[in-house]
């Protein structure tokens, strides 16, 4: 039974998978934040364009 525990402790697949999952989570949060920021700026730009067109009677 102790050989099984030693084999599990030496196994590197588990920690590697956890590291990849953590890295994926950080990348996902960065992408979501960037999309939210760009989306907000794009929405403001179109709102300004709509207001300018309305001010000029278009």
Q: What angle do CA 5, 18, 24 make, to 5 degrees?
A: 170
Greater model confidence, 47 or 19: 47
Q: What is the pLDDT of residues 15-33, one digit of tens each?
A: 677 888 899 999 999 999 9
- H or E element, residue 12: none
CA distances from 45 to 28, 36, 42, 58 (A): 26, 14, 5, 17
Q: How far apart are CA 21 and CA 33, in angstroms?
A: 18
- Site of tokens 């525990």: 5
Q: What is the pTM of this model?
A: 0.55
Q: How far apart are CA 13 and CA 22, in angstroms?
A: 14
- Residues of the chain with pLDDT > 90, as a percent, come to 52
């Amino acid at each position: 039974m102790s050989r099984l525990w030693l084999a599990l402790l030496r196994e590197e697949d588990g920690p590697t998978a956890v590291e990849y999952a953590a890295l994926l989570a950080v990348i996902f949060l960065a992408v979501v934040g960037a999309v939210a920021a760009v989306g907000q700026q794009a929405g403001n730009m179109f709102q300004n364009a709509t207001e300018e067109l309305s001010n000029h009677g278009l």
